[in-house]
Protein backbone atom coordinates (compact mmCIF):
# COMPACT_ATOMS: atom_id res chain seq x y z
CA UNK A 1 0.00 0.00 0.00
CA UNK A 2 1.39 3.39 -0.93
CA UNK A 3 0.76 6.05 1.67
CA UNK A 4 2.21 8.95 -0.28
CA UNK A 5 1.64 10.76 -3.53
CA UNK A 6 5.04 11.76 -4.78
CA UNK A 7 5.10 14.85 -6.96
CA UNK A 8 7.51 13.55 -9.56
CA UNK A 9 7.31 16.83 -11.48
CA UNK A 10 9.27 18.49 -8.68
CA UNK A 11 11.39 16.18 -6.58
CA UNK A 12 11.32 12.76 -5.02
CA UNK A 13 12.33 14.51 -1.81
CA UNK A 14 9.02 16.30 -1.40
CA UNK A 15 6.39 13.64 -0.78
CA UNK A 16 2.93 14.75 0.22
CA UNK A 17 1.45 12.52 2.89
CA UNK A 18 -2.07 11.38 2.22
CA UNK A 19 -4.15 13.10 4.91
CA UNK A 20 -4.81 10.63 7.65
CA UNK A 21 -5.19 10.38 11.35
CA UNK A 22 -2.01 9.71 13.23
CA UNK A 23 -1.81 7.50 16.29
CA UNK A 24 -2.20 9.65 19.37
CA UNK A 25 -0.82 9.50 22.87
CA UNK A 26 -4.24 8.57 24.39
CA UNK A 27 -4.62 5.83 21.75
CA UNK A 28 -1.26 4.33 22.69
CA UNK A 29 -2.07 4.51 26.39
CA UNK A 30 -5.51 2.99 25.78
CA UNK A 31 -3.90 -0.12 24.29
CA UNK A 32 -3.32 -1.21 27.89
CA UNK A 33 -6.77 -0.34 29.16
CA UNK A 34 -7.70 -2.70 31.98
CA UNK A 35 -4.06 -3.52 32.67
CA UNK A 36 -3.29 -5.82 29.73
CA UNK A 37 -2.68 -5.21 26.05
CA UNK A 38 -4.43 -7.57 23.69
CA UNK A 39 -2.23 -6.70 20.72
CA UNK A 40 1.44 -5.71 21.21
CA UNK A 41 2.51 -2.27 20.00
CA UNK A 42 4.98 -2.10 17.09
CA UNK A 43 7.76 0.48 17.22
CA UNK A 44 10.88 0.85 15.07
CA UNK A 45 13.56 3.51 14.88
CA UNK A 46 13.72 5.85 11.86
CA UNK A 47 16.12 8.67 11.12
CA UNK A 48 15.33 9.62 7.52
CA UNK A 49 12.31 10.59 5.45
CA UNK A 50 12.46 7.59 3.10
CA UNK A 51 12.90 5.02 5.86
CA UNK A 52 9.99 6.60 7.71
CA UNK A 53 7.80 6.28 4.58
CA UNK A 54 8.62 2.58 4.29
CA UNK A 55 8.10 1.74 7.97
CA UNK A 56 5.14 3.99 8.75
CA UNK A 57 2.30 1.74 7.51
CA UNK A 58 3.55 -1.09 9.71
CA UNK A 59 4.18 0.69 13.01
CA UNK A 60 2.15 2.38 15.72
CA UNK A 61 5.19 4.42 16.72
CA UNK A 62 8.40 5.56 15.02
CA UNK A 63 11.27 6.48 17.32
CA UNK A 64 13.91 8.95 16.20
CA UNK A 65 16.39 7.35 18.56
CA UNK A 66 19.64 8.92 19.66
CA UNK A 67 21.12 5.62 18.43
CA UNK A 68 21.49 7.69 15.25
CA UNK A 69 24.78 8.77 16.83
CA UNK A 70 26.25 5.35 16.11
CA UNK A 71 24.06 4.29 13.19
CA UNK A 72 24.16 7.48 11.08
CA UNK A 73 27.13 9.46 12.38
CA UNK A 74 29.58 6.69 13.36
CA UNK A 75 29.99 8.07 16.88
CA UNK A 76 31.28 5.76 19.64
CA UNK A 77 28.17 6.17 21.82
CA UNK A 78 25.03 8.28 22.14
CA UNK A 79 26.76 10.71 24.50
CA UNK A 80 27.97 13.19 21.80
CA UNK A 81 24.55 13.40 20.06
CA UNK A 82 23.21 16.97 19.91
CA UNK A 83 19.78 18.60 19.92
CA UNK A 84 20.51 19.88 16.39
CA UNK A 85 20.94 16.30 15.13
CA UNK A 86 17.73 15.16 16.81
CA UNK A 87 15.76 18.11 15.41
CA UNK A 88 17.02 17.64 11.84
CA UNK A 89 16.29 13.90 11.76
CA UNK A 90 13.04 14.25 13.73
CA UNK A 91 11.67 16.73 11.18
CA UNK A 92 12.61 14.39 8.29
CA UNK A 93 10.81 11.45 9.93
CA UNK A 94 7.68 13.51 10.61
CA UNK A 95 7.68 14.60 6.94
CA UNK A 96 7.96 10.98 5.85
CA UNK A 97 5.12 9.59 7.97
CA UNK A 98 1.41 10.05 8.36
CA UNK A 99 0.14 7.17 10.47
CA UNK A 100 2.61 6.45 13.26
CA UNK A 101 3.13 8.56 16.34
CA UNK A 102 6.64 10.00 16.04
CA UNK A 103 8.69 10.29 19.24
CA UNK A 104 12.13 11.91 19.37
CA UNK A 105 14.87 11.07 21.87
CA UNK A 106 16.16 13.83 24.12
CA UNK A 107 19.95 13.69 23.74
CA UNK A 108 22.37 13.42 26.66
CA UNK A 109 22.90 16.76 28.37
CA UNK A 110 19.71 18.37 27.08
CA UNK A 111 17.37 17.51 29.99
CA UNK A 112 19.13 16.19 33.09
CA UNK A 113 20.12 19.58 34.54
CA UNK A 114 16.65 20.65 35.64
CA UNK A 115 12.99 20.32 34.68
CA UNK A 116 13.22 23.81 33.19
CA UNK A 117 16.16 22.82 30.99
CA UNK A 118 14.21 19.72 29.91
CA UNK A 119 11.16 21.81 29.06
CA UNK A 120 13.17 24.25 26.91
CA UNK A 121 14.86 21.38 25.03
CA UNK A 122 11.69 19.33 24.57
CA UNK A 123 9.67 22.35 23.43
CA UNK A 124 12.35 23.09 20.83
CA UNK A 125 12.26 19.48 19.62
CA UNK A 126 8.47 19.56 19.30
CA UNK A 127 8.38 22.94 17.55
CA UNK A 128 11.18 22.13 15.09
CA UNK A 129 10.12 18.59 14.23
CA UNK A 130 6.35 18.38 14.66
CA UNK A 131 6.76 15.18 16.69
CA UNK A 132 4.10 14.14 19.20
CA UNK A 133 6.31 13.06 22.09
CA UNK A 134 9.84 12.91 23.45
CA UNK A 135 11.67 10.05 25.15
CA UNK A 136 14.14 10.47 27.97
CA UNK A 137 16.27 8.00 29.89
CA UNK A 138 16.21 7.48 33.64
CA UNK A 139 13.93 6.38 36.45
CA UNK A 140 13.22 7.83 39.87
CA UNK A 141 15.70 10.70 39.43
CA UNK A 142 13.91 11.83 36.27
CA UNK A 143 10.34 11.43 37.61
CA UNK A 144 9.99 15.12 38.65
CA UNK A 145 11.10 16.11 35.14
CA UNK A 146 8.61 13.72 33.51
CA UNK A 147 5.85 15.25 35.64
CA UNK A 148 6.98 18.81 34.86
CA UNK A 149 6.89 18.11 31.12
CA UNK A 150 3.61 16.21 30.97
CA UNK A 151 1.81 18.84 33.07
CA UNK A 152 2.98 21.41 30.51
CA UNK A 153 1.79 19.62 27.39
CA UNK A 154 4.81 17.50 26.48
CA UNK A 155 4.06 13.77 26.26
CA UNK A 156 6.96 11.67 27.56
CA UNK A 157 8.11 8.11 26.96
CA UNK A 158 10.25 6.78 29.81
CA UNK A 159 13.30 4.54 29.32
CA UNK A 160 14.58 2.26 32.11
CA UNK A 161 16.85 -0.75 32.56
CA UNK A 162 19.88 -0.42 30.32
CA UNK A 163 20.09 3.32 29.64
CA UNK A 164 22.81 3.78 26.98
CA UNK A 165 23.41 7.46 27.76
CA UNK A 166 24.69 6.30 31.18
CA UNK A 167 27.31 4.00 29.60
CA UNK A 168 30.13 5.80 31.41
CA UNK A 169 28.48 5.10 34.77
CA UNK A 170 27.34 1.56 33.92
CA UNK A 171 30.68 0.59 32.34
CA UNK A 172 29.13 -1.09 29.28
CA UNK A 173 25.97 -2.27 27.58
CA UNK A 174 25.42 -5.56 29.44
CA UNK A 175 21.94 -6.66 30.53
CA UNK A 176 20.73 -5.09 33.76
CA UNK A 177 18.90 -6.51 36.75
CA UNK A 178 21.03 -9.54 37.56
CA UNK A 179 21.01 -8.85 41.32
CA UNK A 180 17.86 -8.58 43.42
CA UNK A 181 18.66 -4.99 44.37
CA UNK A 182 19.16 -3.97 40.75
CA UNK A 183 15.94 -5.74 39.71
CA UNK A 184 13.96 -3.95 42.42
CA UNK A 185 15.50 -0.63 41.38
CA UNK A 186 14.42 -1.11 37.74
CA UNK A 187 10.83 -1.94 38.74
CA UNK A 188 10.85 1.11 41.05
CA UNK A 189 12.23 3.31 38.26
CA UNK A 190 9.50 2.21 35.84
CA UNK A 191 6.79 2.83 38.45
CA UNK A 192 8.21 6.27 39.23
CA UNK A 193 8.19 7.50 35.62
CA UNK A 194 4.78 5.93 34.91
CA UNK A 195 3.31 7.55 38.06
CA UNK A 196 4.86 10.84 36.96
CA UNK A 197 2.88 10.71 33.71
CA UNK A 198 4.93 8.83 31.10
CA UNK A 199 2.46 7.36 28.58
CA UNK A 200 4.64 4.36 27.86
CA UNK A 201 8.00 3.09 29.06
CA UNK A 202 10.84 1.54 27.05
CA UNK A 203 12.42 -1.31 28.99
CA UNK A 204 15.86 -2.11 27.60
CA UNK A 205 18.32 -4.94 28.23
CA UNK A 206 16.82 -6.63 31.28
CA UNK A 207 16.32 -10.26 32.19
CA UNK A 208 12.90 -11.69 31.33
CA UNK A 209 11.50 -11.78 34.89
CA UNK A 210 12.11 -8.03 35.27
CA UNK A 211 10.36 -7.23 31.99
CA UNK A 212 7.46 -9.30 33.28
CA UNK A 213 7.45 -7.61 36.70
CA UNK A 214 7.63 -4.09 35.19
CA UNK A 215 4.84 -4.87 32.72
CA UNK A 216 2.61 -6.11 35.54
CA UNK A 217 3.53 -3.21 37.83
CA UNK A 218 2.64 -0.25 35.62
CA UNK A 219 -0.61 0.81 33.98
CA UNK A 220 0.93 2.13 30.75
CA UNK A 221 2.44 0.03 27.94
CA UNK A 222 5.98 -1.27 28.25
CA UNK A 223 8.00 -1.35 25.02
CA UNK A 224 10.73 -3.96 25.20
CA UNK A 225 14.13 -4.08 23.54
CA UNK A 226 16.17 -7.01 24.75
CA UNK A 227 13.48 -7.50 27.38
CA UNK A 228 11.39 -10.51 26.24
CA UNK A 229 7.99 -10.93 24.64
CA UNK A 230 6.24 -10.23 27.96
CA UNK A 231 6.26 -6.49 27.24
CA UNK A 232 3.24 -4.67 25.79
CA UNK A 233 5.18 -3.85 22.64
CA UNK A 234 8.60 -4.14 21.01
CA UNK A 235 11.13 -1.77 19.48
CA UNK A 236 14.29 -2.50 17.50
CA UNK A 237 16.87 -0.35 15.79
CA UNK A 238 15.77 -0.71 12.16
CA UNK A 239 19.29 -0.99 10.74
CA UNK A 240 19.96 -3.91 13.13
CA UNK A 241 16.88 -5.86 12.11
CA UNK A 242 17.55 -5.18 8.41
CA UNK A 243 21.00 -6.75 8.76
CA UNK A 244 23.01 -3.66 7.90
CA UNK A 245 25.69 -4.43 10.47
CA UNK A 246 27.95 -7.47 10.71
CA UNK A 247 27.59 -7.65 14.48
CA UNK A 248 24.19 -7.57 16.10
CA UNK A 249 23.40 -8.02 19.77
CA UNK A 250 21.81 -11.27 20.95
CA UNK A 251 18.34 -9.74 21.32
CA UNK A 252 18.18 -8.61 17.69
CA UNK A 253 16.53 -10.79 15.07
CA UNK A 254 17.59 -10.08 11.49
CA UNK A 255 14.61 -9.92 9.17
CA UNK A 256 16.73 -9.11 6.10
CA UNK A 257 20.36 -9.14 4.97
CA UNK A 258 20.64 -5.71 3.40
CA UNK A 259 24.40 -5.45 3.96
CA UNK A 260 24.95 -8.34 1.53
CA UNK A 261 22.45 -6.91 -0.96
CA UNK A 262 24.03 -3.45 -0.90
CA UNK A 263 27.51 -4.92 -1.25
CA UNK A 264 26.40 -7.08 -4.20
CA UNK A 265 24.70 -4.11 -5.91
CA UNK A 266 27.78 -1.90 -5.48
CA UNK A 267 30.03 -4.65 -6.86
CA UNK A 268 27.75 -5.15 -9.90
CA UNK A 269 27.77 -1.39 -10.54
CA UNK A 270 31.57 -1.30 -10.22
CA UNK A 271 31.96 -4.14 -12.72
CA UNK A 272 29.63 -2.53 -15.27
CA UNK A 273 31.27 0.90 -14.96
CA UNK A 274 34.70 -0.63 -15.48
CA UNK A 275 33.45 -2.64 -18.48
CA UNK A 276 31.69 0.45 -19.94
CA UNK A 277 28.46 -1.60 -19.78
CA UNK A 278 26.82 1.14 -17.70
CA UNK A 279 25.28 3.42 -18.79
CA UNK A 280 23.79 1.48 -21.69
CA UNK A 281 21.54 2.82 -24.48
CA UNK A 282 18.52 2.81 -22.14
CA UNK A 283 20.13 5.29 -19.76
CA UNK A 284 21.54 7.70 -22.34
CA UNK A 285 19.89 10.96 -23.53
CA UNK A 286 19.85 11.44 -27.32
CA UNK A 287 18.89 14.36 -29.54
CA UNK A 288 15.37 13.99 -30.99
CA UNK A 289 15.49 13.02 -34.69
Q: Examine the residue annotation and report whether 204 is marked as an active-site residue of this protein.
A: yes
In b/e form, how buried is each residue of 126-147, taking b as 16+ CB within 10 angstroms? bebbebbbbbbbbbeebbebbb
Residue closer to ligand KIV, measured from CB, 15 or 111:
111
Q: C-beta of 238: minimal distance to ligand KIV in Å?
A: 9
Which of 6/42 has CB closer to ligand KIV? 42
Q: Is the peptide bond before 209 cis (omega within 30 degrees of 0)?
A: no
CB nearer ligand KIV, residue 45 or residue 97: 45
Minimum CB distance to ligand KIV smaller for 147 or for 239: 239
Q: Are the C-beta atoms of residues 233 and 40 closer than 8 Å to each other? A: yes
CA dihedral (220, 223, 227, 228) positive or negative: positive
Q: How far is the CB of 106 from ligand KIV (least distance, A)?
A: 10
> Which one, 15 or 145, has the nearer CB to ligand KIV?
145
Report the residue closest to ligand KIV, judged by CB: 65
DSSP 3-state of 169 = helix
- The residue ranges of DSSP E strands in the chain, in sequence order, are 4-6, 15-17, 41-45, 61-64, 101-105, 133-135, 156-161, 200-204, 222-225, 233-236
Catalytic residue among 60, 137, 147, 204: 204
Residues making contact with ligand KIV (CB under 6 A) = 45, 63, 65-67, 105, 202, 204, 225, 235, 237
State in angstroms the smallest separation of the CB of 81 from ligand KIV: 9
Q: What's the rounded Cα separation, in Å, for the pair 190 and 57?
A: 29
**Cα–Cα distance measured from residue 227 to residue 215, given in angstroms and rounded to the nearest whole number:** 10
* CB of 71 vs ligand KIV, minimal distance in Å: 8
Smallest separation, CB 230 to ligand KIV (Å): 17
Nearest CA-CA partner of 241 in 25, 27, 46, 23: 46
Could you write out the DSSP letters of every residue in 74-119? --SSSTT--HHHHHHHHHHHHHT-SSSEEEEEPPTTSSSS-HHHHH
Q: What positions carry a catalytic annotation? A: 204
Amino acid sequence: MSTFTIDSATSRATPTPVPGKRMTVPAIRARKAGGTSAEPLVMLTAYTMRTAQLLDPHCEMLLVGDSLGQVIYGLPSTVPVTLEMMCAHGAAVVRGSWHALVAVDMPFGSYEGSPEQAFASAARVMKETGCAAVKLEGGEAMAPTVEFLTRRGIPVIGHVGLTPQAVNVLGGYGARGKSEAEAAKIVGDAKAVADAGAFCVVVEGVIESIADAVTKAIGVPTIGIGASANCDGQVLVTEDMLGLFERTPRFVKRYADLASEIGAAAAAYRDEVRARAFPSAEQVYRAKP
